[in-house]
Amino acid sequence: MVQAEARHGNGSIGVHVEGPNEQSPEDAVVLNSLSYAYSGHRPIVSDISLSLPKGSRCLLLGANGAGKSTLLQILAGQYMVGPDAVRILGRPAFHDIQLTSSGQLSYLGQQWRRDIAFAGYNVPIQGDIGAGKMIFGVEGVDPARRQQLIDLLEIDLEWRLNKVSDGQRRRVQICMGLLKPYQVLLLDEITVDMDVVGRLDLLKFFVEECETRGATIIYATHIFDGLEKWITHVAYLADGQLRIGDKASEVPELQQGKKLLRVVETWLRSDLETSRREEAADPSLRAKRPGAAKPRTTPLMPTKHMMFFRG
Ligand SMILES: Nc1ncnc2c1ncn2[C@@H]1O[C@H](COP(=O)(O)OP(=O)(O)OP(=O)(O)O)[C@@H](O)[C@H]1O
């Protein structure tokens, strides 16, 4: 049995691993009893285990605030967790900085509207930067892959990033994140600004990447159009737990020809009704939900008085 506690930024985690999951060389992403709590809050996720084989495309689902972005950021190595809790390509996500710096692990997240992110670094867009300068500024890129992405994303190299639309800027940012042939790609709602043709073409490109190169993708989104046949795996977060973490073919509701939107709606409504019922019976439950702030153990006081306080 291994227990570890760690702290990073404003987050703290408690990882409890009892005999790490057997990891097959075919697994690209493995979670071993992962728990994570932001400092001063109850855990967002508790005791989550999941294995995703190379070449899989996993849809990460959950209500607003369920912890999808937090989980993707943990997988991206942005929060420190125990080395066995999150393994990407058999290596610890946080401790092995080569994963992101080499481009093997790529994360495209929400901050991309305002920031440029590449190889784990985020830089706010402040100046008048040209799309071409940014894209061609990345070294060690296969020119054919770069051109394929520029064409796929319909990018005009003359675009000025401080003047283009959100969707156009997003295209440049997606291109930057895909330039290096990642092995694991984490997508956090990146297609929200894209028009339908751009989005569907990108989804098709991702299928090719998984099928030809064995890339693995985890995609968190609330837009389900066109995803029924795209996904190979499903991970559904609710109430701090991984309610479903399986092949899509093993999830009975997804085998009945229903639209994904309706299936997810049913799951979310059912969980919402359950939690409302539970909280109606016991109102104190709300303060114990995942992510809820923990009761303060020190009195609230102006910071200038804190120097006199010994808790
Ligand atoms: N830095 C932080 N400190 C404390 N709590 C945080 C922090 N960041 C996020 N949270 C909380 O963690 C919970 C999960 O947030 P997260 O963004 O991971 O959810 P999500 O499933 O991605 O939601 P959405 O679908 O709305 O994007 C929320 O309750 C949020 O308020």
ipTM for the assembly: 0.98
Question: Which token pair is 20?
Answer: 């790490």
Residue nearest to atom 31 of ligand 1 (CA): 65
> pLDDT tens digits, residue range 262-292?
999 999 999 999 999 999 999 888 888 898 8
Residue nearest to atom 27 of ligand 1 (CA): 64
User: What is the number of the ligand 1 atom nearest to the C-alpha of 62?
Assistant: 21
| In the predicted structure, residue 212 carries a pLDDT above the cut 50 | yes
Average pLDDT on 9-25 reads: 45
pLDDT of amino acid 35: 95
Angle between helices 143-152 and 166-178 (to 10 degrees): 160
CA-wise closest residue to 184 among 208, 215, 213, 219? 215
Average pLDDT on 240-249 reads: 95
CA-wise closest residue to 230 among 213, 209, 244? 209
Global pTM reads 0.85
User: What residues are in contact with ligand 1 under a 6 Å CB criterion?
Assistant: 10, 38, 41, 44, 62, 64-70, 291
pLDDT of amino acid 116: 52
At residue 254 the predicted structure's pLDDT band, cuts being 50, 70 and 90, is very high
The residue among 159 and 113 whose pLDDT is bigger is 159
CA-wise closest residue to 25 among 55, 54, 48? 54
